[in-house]
Every structure is written in structure tokens, then in C-alpha cells.
Structure 1
Amino acid sequence: MEQIVNKKQFKFTLDWTVLISAVVLPIIGYTLIYLSKTLYFKDGAIACWPTGGVYLAAMLRLGYRIWPAALLSEFTINQLLFSDGKLSTFIVNTLISPVTVIDVLVTTFLIHRIIKRRNPLERSEDIFKFVLLLIPSPLVTNTYGVTVQALAGITPWASFGDVLRNWLIQGFTSYLVIIPMLLTWSQRYVDKQKSLKKFAELGCLLLLVIIISWTTFSSGYPLEYMLIPPLIWAVFRFGQRESTTLVFIISVIAIYGTGHGFGSFAKHSVVLSLFLLQSFICVVALTTLILSGVINENKKAAAKLKRANDELEQRVEERTLELQQAKIIADTANQAKSEFLASMSHELRTPLNGILGYAQILQRSKVIPEKEHKGINIIHQCGEHLLTLINDVLDLSKIEAKKMELHPKDFHFPSFLQSVVEICSIRAEQKGISFDYRLNNQLPIAICADDKRLRQVLINLLGNAIKFTDTGGVTFKVEVLENGMIRFLIEDTGVGMAPDVMEKIFLPFEQVGSSEKQIEGTGLGLAISHKVVSLMGATINVESQLGVGSTFWFDIEFMEAKEWTNTHNTQKGTVIGFESEKRKILIVDDRWENRSVLVNLLQPIGFEVLEATNGEEGLEKAIQEKPDLIITDLAMPVMDGFTMTKHLRELEEFENSLIIASSASVFDFHRHEAVLSGCNDFLPKPVQVEELFSQLQNHLQLQWIYEQSQKLATNSLYLAETSVMDIPPASALTTLYEAAQRCDVADIQAAVLEIERLDKKYKAFTEKVLFLADEFEMEAIVSLINIYIIDCN
């Protein structure tokens, strides 16, 4: 039923199309012919006959079904325009009308058959075919029409050639001018760039064409080909609709001017004038059509290329999304672990801030007995060890997140190397292989570097060498090269590697050697070491021979810390105040224990301390009290530290205020975010007294007042006596060194007794070690033994 209704509707639409065409086509045709008659030359000649172009454009757009309307239109126009009351004239007009319509039908069929496009003017190739297919149509129709008129006596046989030539050119001219304009105006047209500026440009272009045309064809100035640049402009800037309309306007003005004897085409011979005029119109129309076709092709090619690029980008995005999803799925477990470790380390650092903070506060107390001071020192030492473990967890999380950065500092280089050697030599001894440590005497005493990362690299390389060496031994060399760089070289007599394996050893999770050896590690050590050394500006080099052994080395230039000795050997004592007027510090933190630590550290040395529990309260107190410096936590309820800092920086009076961010999160992006929000510095939790006082001294330009203690004086005395002490051999110092590293006071005392049994001349040395152990100065014992072990070697 639905199909029947659709067919009826289609038939109804078809009938109305034919009916409307039967009314509209005669009106359009008659109007154009009447306009052409007004442009007649003096002897009645005409430059353009538009009816054929109108019928052909209508059939190309509406189809063959309008042929009755075209026939009716042609018959009506011929009878109205050329009827003189004679029967012969009526018969001639009647005979010419069907031939004209048949010729248009044939031409329409050929265009559809050969070009096969709804719009035959889209491509330059189609335009050439279209122009060639238009030539036969006026040739057949006009030859037939002139012959009929000659037979009827209307046209003399002597003028047959001139009349036929005129009819052919005027028919072809009308096709080139009328058809493109009607086709383009009948198409659906959407201008995506409508604007007042573009309409103004089109108006200026139209005015320019009219001025040039009128000047050319109303005077004797030969400026007719100056019209081509504006037409090219119209094609490029607007399109076929506007450019074909301009061609029509130019043609009308040219025909009018030439017909009235104006312009360079107006000659004494009407035939010559028509030939020049029609040639000009054809050249202008063809140039415009071909150029518009080329531009349309370029635009479509560009659009096609853009679509291809968009599709390619879409496919790339889809593929990238697939890979990202696959990577997310693969990394889910690791990411969850990293987030857990980061969260837990943050939660552990927060209470540890109170433990270490109050341990440091109690260490500065004058009312606590000496015996209790030792317990507090033990608490502090244990807290420091726990903090080191937590930092190691954070480092693991950073490595997995690929956000590892270097944090260089000054440190004693020989002691650092000796600590690495002690760790690795124990492993070598347990495995039953030799470990040879060769040190260059020209090494600097102190350097500036990231000691933790450098230790990580050396232990990884030395650990691999020991792991893959079953016979022979491992040699560790550190020397200064001629160019001032320091070379670290690890050589072993292990299993070695084949060339194809050496290319993959620095990739993550790549392991070499037997399966038993691979089980011992994760395959990340060399990859991490390679990354760290790259961050230091160097490259790990490797040479290996299968079954013989391997050699790893890298060269790095370190800055020598020349001031390290003075800085670390000058013991100034406890800070008890500062030399300036009283300073006001605002502490903003939602946890009372964190505020309490800072308050108890700062108030005793002369600072006026204010407290706030969140960013909003901190903002209000800062505006009211105008503190000299603000220390703020980052994560707080109501308003966090980032927001509070940004609000303060927006106020003119706080543009240059000193703000220090303090947080238990020590990830680098939190530090960067704090700086971007306007903070001057970052103080990690747990708060270390030395770092806190260092930042206060730097930002507030303070001069500290120190208290020299009796213990420091006694330590200085013992250090002064170092040069006259007899030192035990390295074999005896090893046990003492290991006990000091473990912070085991009982084992230290046992090791001292063993040394005293060796010889009484070591009594000064053992008393010094016992004194330091009694004060729980484990780092001092380790540093002291490091120096003596190096000297003994």
C-alpha cells in the first residue's frame, strides 16, 4: 500500500513539473529573446539566440520529461516573434520548432551518456567534453532552419552561408553563456563563509566589471580583455555561480555597446562586428568555465586529501588508543603497586614527622639528663633509618613511573667508595672469589653528585659482576683521567656475553646467563643504571667475550666540593637565637602535631609563631598579622595550601612575601606545583632541623647565634688527638665497621675488646671509639674507620 501511495505521489509531482515547465519556459525564453531583440544590430542581426540554451539547461536539470513544455515554448515563441500573417511563415515556424527540441533531446542524451554526471561543469575534463558535445547541436538545428527559410523564400540563397555562420555562432555563444549560469543557479548552494566583508568584496567586484565593460563598449578604448582578471578573481574567491553571472552581465553590455556602434568590436561590416563580439564572448566564457573546473578539482582534491588525512589520523588515534588500553591493562598491577607504595610512604612520613621532630626538639633540651639523651639519640637514629627505607620505597615508585630525577649534594668521596666496596666485598667473600679495589691517589676528597644514585649504579654493576663470576675475581678501579673526568671500571672473569646479547642487556627485564642466575634478579638493574648514568651526562660502555669475562666502565665529570671540609668539620653548636629584630612566622597545617613540632623548634630561639588550621584561616591571619614568613602544608580541608598561596599572591601587599611549602609528599611534581602556585621553597616532612634553619637563614637573611657545648669541645679534643693514635690493621677494623653500620653498641664494644687484646698500643683508638659509641655517634665511627681502612690499603 505504501509503495502505491509513493508511486502516485511521484506521478503527481511529475505532472506538476511538466505543467510548471510549460508555463515557465515560454516566459523565460520569450523574455530572453525580447532582451536579445532590443540588442539587435541595425540590420536586424543578433549576437545571441538564448532559447536553445534555456531548453538544454532545463533538460539537464529536470530530465527528458519536460520536452512537451520545451516544444510548446519554442512553437509559441516562434509564432509570437516571427508571425507576419503569411501561411508560409507559420509552416516554417511549425517545422523548425520540433527539430530544435529533438536536437536538444539528443544533446542532453549524449551529455548524460558520455559525461555521466549530474553537473557536467565540475571538472575540467568534463567541461572539455561538454563544449565538444555542444558543437553538433546548433550545426544541425541551424542548418535545417536556414534551409527551410531559404526554401520558403524568407532567406535568399545568396546569403545562405552568412546567415548560417551567424546562426551557428550565436547558438554556440548562447550555450556557453546561458547554460552554465542556469545550471549553477539551479543547484543547491551553501556558502559556509557568509560575511559582510565577502558581500562587500562581491559588490566591489561587480562594480569593477560594470565600469570596465561600460568604459570599453561605450567608447573607443580597447579595454575588453581587462575583464579577464576580475573574472579570475571571481572564480577564485567565490565560485561558478558568481563568475558565470558576471560573464552574462559582460556579454549583455558587450552586445549592447557593439550593437549601438560603440567599442573596439564595432566595425563597418556587421558580419565582422558579430564575429569579433561573439569570439570575445566565447573566449571569456570558456576561460571562466575551464578555470572554475580546475579550481573545483583542486578544491575536491584538497578536500579528499583532508578526508584521507582525517581518516588516517582517526585510524592512528584508534590504534594508539588500542595500544594505550593494552598498555594500561598490562601496567595495571604495577600502577596499583606504585600508587599503594606512594600513598603508604606519604602516610608513614606524616607520623614520622612528629617522631623525628620531637626527637630533635628533645635533643636540644637542657633539662633532660644525659642518660635520657642517649635514648633520644637512639630514637632519632632509628627514625632516620626508617626514613631512609621509606625514601627507598619512593625511589622504587619513581623508577616505575619514569619520573626519576637527580638531587646532587656534597659528600666525602673516599668514604663513599669505601662503603660501596665493603658491601660488595662481603658478597664476593661469601661466593669465594677475589675482590680487588684499586684507588687512584688523585681522587678529590669531596664531590658534588647524587650519592644515592651513584651508589645504586656501582652496586648494580659490581653485583652483576660478582653474580656471574664463579672463578677468578672482580676488579673495581676508580681513577682520574687526563681530561679531569673520573672513570669507574668494573672488570670480571665471569661467563661473558655474546655480541647479540650485549645489544639487549640495557633493556628492561632483559637477563643473560643461565636460568639459575636469572632467578636472582628482576632484569631491571642495568636498565636503571643506564638511565641514571644518562641523567648524569655519561654512557655505560661494555666489552665482553663469551667464556672469558666482561668489562663495564663509564666516565663522569664531577664538580669538586672544595668547601666540603670546612663546612662539615666546623662544629658551631646548637642554634639558640639570631641577630636581628624579632621575626613573625605563620604555620598553616591541619594536623596539630605538625604545627607543634615547628612551634617548639622556632619559639625557643626567638620567633613569634602564629598558627592556622587550614588555608582559609591562614589567609585571614596572614592579612591581619602580616607575618615575615609563612610555612604552609599543601593538602588541607576547607582550602588547601596551593589555593591559599595563589590568593595571597593576588594581593599587592603579599606579592613578595616569603612562603615555604611543607608536605609529606616529596614527589617532584608536587614541588613544581608548589613553585608554580607562588611558593619560594619546599620543606619536606619529616622536618629536619638543619634544613629548616638553612631555609630560614637563606630567606630571612639571618645570622644565627650558637651555643658551644662541652661535648663538642671534648669531641674536638679527641679529633685533635687522631694524628698520634696507633691504628689497628684493616682485618681488625672490618668487624668494628660492620657493627657500627648496624648501630649495634654491644657488637662495637665486643670488637673493641678484641682490638685491645691484639696490642695495648691501640688503647687511644679504642677509647675514642667507645666514647663515640657512648654518644651514639655511629656516623662518626663509620667515617673514622673509612679513613683508616683506606690508609691501611
Structure 2
Amino acid sequence: MTARTWYYNLALSGGVAVAYGASMAFSLSLTREGAGIATIWLAGGILAAGFLLLPRRWGLATATACFTVQFAYNLLVGNPLAAAATFPALTIGEAAAAAWLARKVCGETMRLTSMSRVARLLLLVVAPATALTAILAADVFTLYGRSFNTVLSGWFYGHALGMAIMLPASLMVVRPDMVRDFRRTPFEQICLYGLVAAMSFVSVLPIRFPMPLLLFPLMALLAFRLGPRGAAVGAMIMAVVLSSLVVSLPSPPGGATWSLAERTRSFQFLIAINFFTSLATAMVIADQKRMKRLWARRTRIARAAQARAMAAGQAKTEFLATMSHEIRTPMSSIVGFTEVLLKREDLPEPARRQLALIDRAGASLLTVVNDILDFSKVEAGEVELSPAPINPRNVAQDAMAIVAEAARRKGLDLQLGFIGPVEAPVMLDDLRVRQILLNLLSNAIKFTDHGRVRLDLQAIEEPDGVLLRFRVTDTGPGVPSEQAARLFKRFSQGDSSVSRTHGGTGLGLAICRGLTELMGGKIGVESKPGAGATFWFEIPARRAAGPVREAASPEAAAPLAARVLLVDDHPMNRELGATVLSLLGCEVILAENGEEAVAAAQTSGCDLILMDVHMPRMDGLEATRAIRALGGVCAAVPIIAMSADVMPEMEAACLRAGMNAAVGKPIQIQALHDVLTRWLGEPGGVAAA
């Protein structure tokens, strides 16, 4: 036991003993003046609370001290030795019985935070303990010539009322949580308690008005301002005042002739009703305040969790942006120079085959990076659809053409089928639809070793548009039912064992689901093990009013005769960019940083600027703003961001700085040709619709 605990127990036991002695003297003095009837016995509740709050050894010591005090008092007032010892034994036994029952009924903590707990304490603890002691006391009192019934009723009413007030009041006084929401200034507490004492005194005056009724609103005010503890202390003050006056009143209010027992019962009833109504009111108010505090705490926790989630999301975004930049920068050289070398005619066949393997490996790595970034965008709700008039048939044919080479290498038969008006133009984001199709078709080819892969497109006319249903069917191993349910979850794969033969991030189908739901559709799978699988998705589309947007064919396009300013701080990226632009027929002007870019833009007369974003001295955003501020031709020249940071935040920052579009690294000849064709064909740098 620590010194602090020892001093606490000493102070508590001393306080209990002193309070017991004072309340005992008060009650016994009333008993002497009240023809042997104890108007109210407060000491039992105080000692019972001491038994509950103190360790067993300290409780026994306190009980011994209380017995000694009461025994000595009885001897001083002239009681016989046997009676002087019997009555302390009865009252202390009553308190011990109440404490034992309280632990059995209400548990060790004794947290009186609701009226149901208080009711259990009163009905299952106070009532049985005081009733049993009343019976024993009535038997003893008959030895001294007292009436059994009078003693029984007087003892039970006085002791039960006193313990009903003092036991919960004492437990509430030592609980700091009972006053947490009812802290008031000492001045206000003194005024309220003094008002209760004064009104209790006035209520017994022989006035022809039911003054005791005024105690009810006063006790309600006490409950609102001071809570359960205030209600208990107020009832205790009322009990002391009324008990003191009941034995000295010459006659009750109204002039009626009441016996002492009748007056005692009436005031006991008044005290009990006031106590329990005010305590019930205080408990309800305390519960409301506790619920508000809990709600406020949960709100703070939710806000803190939201802040942490936002911080985590921001950290994730920054991490993905950094990793994207760091991975794409070297990949730009790997993929770009591989494409350039594959276009050479003087390569020996073994070298061409090895370069093709490098190209496939780079494409696979790029797919992994793109999957992670795409999933991050879908999960964060940052994907924005760009609907335009498209021909669904053309989208399906384009997707099949892209995967045709992969299917040919595996010896698979590609089939394409159409049902319904698939050539009618509709409003859709063709890039996102094609992304879903390519993911499903690539998976089907990857997991099918022999047989066929078939794509079916069905257009279903509806009153408000067209429902497009795509089905990709393969003759692969199929998907077990227990795995099908988790295929569309993030980082989930049909085969996650160490012996799996196919790689992947497990994000492709999750991205497909996110994009499909974003377009208002749904996606699913139908499969039986060993019988292939059918992945399907359907999306609603509005009918298009305008013409279908046709994509330019790079193979058919003439070489680009344009002066392009290429700005990049990385020497390898500048060499690669210059090589690719030369292959496309462009005259290239090089700049290593933003300052050189601003100077070159003033003097070179370039037709288009490819601007890296992350550069020392002056970054691409600042350089773009400086070029736009030059005015004239520089204010209208198309500026295309070319960066390994392809996060939505960076793309938005590029547009705000004055750039026209953004293209991500690694540089791919086809993608770069498309961008140049689009913007060089639009003088003034007006973005294409």
C-alpha cells in the first residue's frame, strides 16, 4: 500500500467515524425527545457507505470506533449496560448487512449512474437490511416494556429513510464523476442549500397554506443546478431540519390534532418524496449531460480520425507521386529507347528479339505502375469522366486490335460478336470503356493457354438511352466460386499462392469495378472450374446528338514539320525526346531548365513547348507562368507538360499555371505523336473539344 493510499483510507475512515458520531447524537437526541421513536437514523447509511468504500481491515477499525462512540453515548445518557451494547451492535450490524447486500446486488464498483441502479439499491439492499434489523430491535425493545408494533414501524421508517438518503448520498459525494457536469461556485451552492434549509423550516410553520408544496420546485432547481449529489445533500438537509422540528412542534399546520407518530410519518413521507423525485430528475439530467459529453467525445474522435485519414491520404498521394516520378524517370529511357531501336532496319534478328523482350518487360512494369495510380484515383474519387459521341462497335474493335498480337503469340483464336444497334453513336468516355475492355481481354488471354477468347457486345434499346452489355468469354481454367466473390476487391487475385504462374497487382478488376460503377453500371463474373470464365459489365449510355469523334491515324499522318522546344533537366530524357521528335519530323530546340526555356521561347519562334515540371532553379510551372506573361506569340504557344508525376493534383497545377495539357512519362512514340498532332493542328493553343 502506498503512503498516499494509506492517508486516503485514514482520512476516509476518520470522516466516517466523525459523521457517524454526529448523526448518531442527532438522531438519539430526537429519540429521547420523541418518546423513543427515532424520526430518522442517518448514521446507518454513513457507516454502510464506509464499509463499501474502505478495505476490509479499515472498515472493521471504523466499525469498532463507531461502536465505541455509540456505546459511550448510551452509557452517558443513562442506558443500562446491556442496552447500551445491544443497540450499537444492531445498528452496526444493519450497516454491515446493507454493505454485504450492496456488493452482491450492485457489484463492487457501486456506480449509481441511473435510477434503475438506485432503485435496486433501495429495494434489494436498504429495505431488507433495515426490515430485518427492525424485527430484531422490536424484540429487544419489548424487554424494556415498549410496544412491538410501535418499535417495528418506527425503527423501519426511520432507519430505512435515513439509509435511503445517506447511503446513495455518501457514495455520490466521493465520486468526482457525479459532479463533473454540475460544477457551481461555492456561493451558489451555499445559497441553494441555505434556501432548502429555510424552506424546510417554513414548511412546518402553522400557516394556512400548504407550504411543504414549495419544497418540490426548490428541490427540482437543486437537481438542475447541482445534479444527483446536490439532490442527495438537499434531501439530507431537509431531513435534518424537519426531523429536528417534528418533535418540537406544538401542533401541525392547519390546527389538526396529530399524534407524534403521525407527524413523524408525514414528514418522513415528505422527505422521501422530495428526495426521490429530485434524485430522479437529477439522474435524467446527468444522463443527458453524459450522453452529450459522450457524443462530443465521439465527435472529437471522429474528427481526429478524419484528420488522420486526410493526412494519411495526403501522405499516400505524396508517396505515390514521388514513387511515380522516381519509377517513370528511368522507365522513360528504357521504354523510349527500346521503341526507337525497334524501328531500326539494320538490327540483327537476335537483337530484335531481345529488344522485344525488354519492350514487353517495360510494358508490364508500366502496367503495374499505372494500375496503382489508377486505383488510387478511383478510390479517392478523383476520376472524372469525359463523355463524347462514340461508336461502341469501334471501341470494341479497337480493343480487340490492341490485344491481337498477344493472342497470336499464344495461338489463341480471337472472336468478336455484335447484337443490336451497336453502331448507333452514344455518349460515353471511350478511354475508360476501352480501359475496362483491355483489362478483361488481357486477363482472359493471360489465363487461357489454348482455345479462344471472345468479346460480345450487345446494345439494348431503352426509353432513356441504350444499355451496352460487354461479355468477355475464355476457355481457360475458370474461377472457383469461393474465389469469384473476392476477385473485384483490391489486391485480390484468383491464385495468391507461391506457386502461381501468373503475376499482377490484383488491382485491375478493382479498377474495372470502380470505373463501371462510376459510369452507373455493374460488373460480374460467371464461371465454373475447368469450363472457362465469362467476365461481363454493362453500362447505360445516352444517345449522342452530334457526330462520332474519329481518332487520327498516326500511320497515315504526314511527318510533323514543327519547331518544338523540349525542356528537361535530365540529359537522358533530353536525348530520348530529341530522338523521338526527330523520328516524327520535328525540329528540336533543347533547354535544361526553366530559365533557359523562357529565354528560348522569346527567340526561337517555336510552335510548341514540351515542358518538364520538376526542374532545379526554375521549375516547369514557374517557367510556364513567365512565358505566358511575355505576351504576344508566347502567350498563345501550346505548352504541354511532360512529367513522370502524373497524379491528378499535378495535372491540375499544370493547367492552372497556363499549360494546355499533360502527357506522362515514359515517352511513347504513339502517345507523343497523338499529342503533337492534336495541338499543332490548333493554332492559338485552344484545347480540343
Q: What TM-score do the two structures reach when normalised by structure 1?
A: 0.50
Q: Give, in whole Å, the separation in 2 of the partners of 1:691 and 1:593.
A: 21
Deviations 1:17-62 (A, max 9, x none): 999998886566446766x59x978x99974466666677667765
2:246 matches 1:250 = no
Q: Give, in whole Å, the separation in 2 of the partners of 1:683 and 1:21.
A: 81
2:332 matches 1:349 = yes
Structure 1 residue identity aligned to 2:423: L
Structure 2 residue identity aligned to 1:193: R
Of the candidates 259, 279, 289, which is equivalent to residue 269 of structure 2?
279
Query: What's the secondary structure of 2:180's corresponding residue?
Result: coil
Q: Give, in whole Å, the separation in 1 of the partners of 2:111 and 2:480.
A: 67
Query: What's the secondary structure of 1:683's corresponding residue?
Result: strand
Of the candidates 650, 662, 675, which is equivalent to residue 683 of structure 1?
662
Q: Residue 777 of structure 1 aligns with which residue?
A: none
2:99 matches 1:103 = no
Listed as ranges, the matches of 1:259-658 within 5 Å are 259-260=248-249, 264=253, 267-271=256-260, 272-285=262-275, 343-349=326-332, 393-399=365-371, 402-403=375-376, 417=397, 420=400, 424=404, 443=423, 449-450=430-431, 453=435, 456=438, 459-460=441-442, 463=445, 467-469=449-451, 482=461, 509-510=493-494, 527=509, 531=513, 534=516, 557=541, 562=547, 564=549, 612=594, 633-636=612-615
Distance 1:274 1:236, change over 3 A: same
Q: Give, in whole Å, the separation in 2 of the partners of 1:443 and 1:270.
A: 106
Q: What is the deviation of 1:693?
A: 9.4
Q: Give, in whole Å, the separation in 1 of the partners of 2:456 and 2:14.
A: 105
Query: What's the secondary structure of 2:435's corresponding residue?
Result: helix
Deviations 1:593-632 (A, max 9, x none): 989989x99xx99x9x996469xx99xxxxxxxxxx9997
Distance 1:398 1:228, change over 3 A: farther
Q: Give, in whole Å, the separation in 2 of the partners of 1:78 and 1:23.
A: 17
Q: Residue 668 of structure 1 aligns with which residue?
A: 647
Distance 1:163 1:632, change over 3 A: same
Deviations 1:254-313 (A, max 9, x none): 3466545697587433423233123323444566778999999x99x99xx99xx9xxxx
Q: What is the deviation of 1:189?
A: 4.1
Q: Give, in whole Å, the separation in 1 of the partners of 2:126 and 2:619.
A: 75
The answer to whether the 8 Å contact 1:530/1:539 transfers is: no
Q: Give, in whole Å, the separation in 2 of the partners of 1:356 and 1:107.
A: 97
Q: Give, in whole Å, the separation in 2 of the partners of 1:489 and 1:145.
A: 97
Q: Give, in whole Å, the separation in 1 of the partners of 2:14 and 2:98.
A: 25
Larger radius of gyration: 1
Deviations 1:490-543 (A, max 9, x none): 778x699799699689676548xxxxxx96998989958965983666567888
The answer to whether the 8 Å contact 1:666/1:684 transfers is: no
Q: What is the deviation of 1:104?
A: 2.2
Q: Give, in whole Å, the separation in 1 of the partners of 2:17 and 2:537.
A: 95
Q: Residue 301 of structure 2 aligns with which residue?
A: none
Query: What's the secondary structure of 1:684's corresponding residue?
Result: strand
Distance 1:189 1:661, change over 3 A: farther
Deviations 1:721-746 (A, max 9, x none): xxxxxxxxxxxxxxxxxxxxxxxxxx
Q: Give, in whole Å, the separation in 2 of the partners of 1:443 and 1:390.
A: 35
Distance 1:510 1:78, change over 3 A: closer
The answer to whether the 8 Å contact 1:71/1:97 transfers is: no
Of the candidates 128, 134, 140, which is equivalent to residue 130 of structure 2?
134
Q: What are the ranges of 5 or more consecutive residues in structure 1 without an aligned counterpart? A: 1-5, 83-89, 151-156, 310-316, 318-335, 358-373, 376-382, 512-517, 578-584, 619-628, 649-656, 705-793
The answer to whether the 8 Å contact 2:197/2:238 transfers is: yes
Q: Give, in whole Å, the separation in 2 of the partners of 1:432 and 1:59.
A: 87
Q: What is the deviation of 1:246?
A: 0.9
The answer to whether the 8 Å contact 1:661/1:679 transfers is: no
Q: What is the deviation of 1:70?
A: 3.9
Query: What's the secondary structure of 2:330's corresponding residue?
Result: helix
Deviations 1:85-123 (A, max 9, x none): xxxxx4x45453212112124324433554446788954
Distance 1:663 1:694, change over 3 A: same
Q: Give, in whole Å, the separation in 2 of the partners of 1:456 and 1:285.
A: 77
Q: What is the deviation of 1:670?
A: 5.2
The answer to whether the 8 Å contact 1:398/1:404 transfers is: no
Structure 1 residue identity aligned to 2:128: L
Range with greater deviation from structure 2 (344-353 or 435-444): 435-444
Structure 2 residue identity aligned to 1:74: Q
Structure 1 residue identity aligned to 2:129: L
Q: What is the deviation of 1:247?
A: 0.7
Query: What's the secondary structure of 1:135's corresponding residue?
Result: helix
Distance 1:262 1:50, change over 3 A: same
Q: What is the deviation of 1:133?
A: 1.2
Q: Residue 125 of structure 1 aligns with which residue?
A: 120
Distance 1:263 1:552, change over 3 A: same
Distance 1:93 1:549, change over 3 A: closer
State the Cα RMSD in Å. Answer: 7.2
The answer to whether the 8 Å contact 1:634/1:661 transfers is: no
Q: Give, in whole Å, the separation in 1 of the partners of 2:277 and 2:243.
A: 19
Q: What is the deviation of 1:397?
A: 2.5
The answer to whether the 8 Å contact 2:45/2:163 transfers is: yes
Query: What's the secondary structure of 1:63's corresponding residue?
Result: helix
Distance 1:245 1:425, change over 3 A: closer
Q: What TM-score do the two structures reach when normalised by structure 2?
A: 0.56
Distance 1:664 1:79, change over 3 A: same
Structure 1 residue identity aligned to 2:397: L
Structure 1 residue identity aligned to 2:331: L
Range with greater deviation from structure 2 (97-106 or 562-571): 562-571
Identity of aligned residues (%): 15
Q: What is the deviation of 1:699?
A: 12
Distance 1:262 1:633, change over 3 A: farther
Listed as ranges, the matches of 1:171-210 within 5 Å are 172-178=160-166, 180-182=168-170, 185=173, 187=174, 189=176, 193=180, 206=193, 209=196
Q: Give, in whole Å, the separation in 2 of the partners of 1:161 and 1:141.
A: 11
Distance 1:356 1:141, change over 3 A: same
The answer to whether the 8 Å contact 2:335/2:362 transfers is: no
Deviations 1:625-668 (A, max 9, x none): xxxx99975545689779x89x99xxxxxxxx999893522543
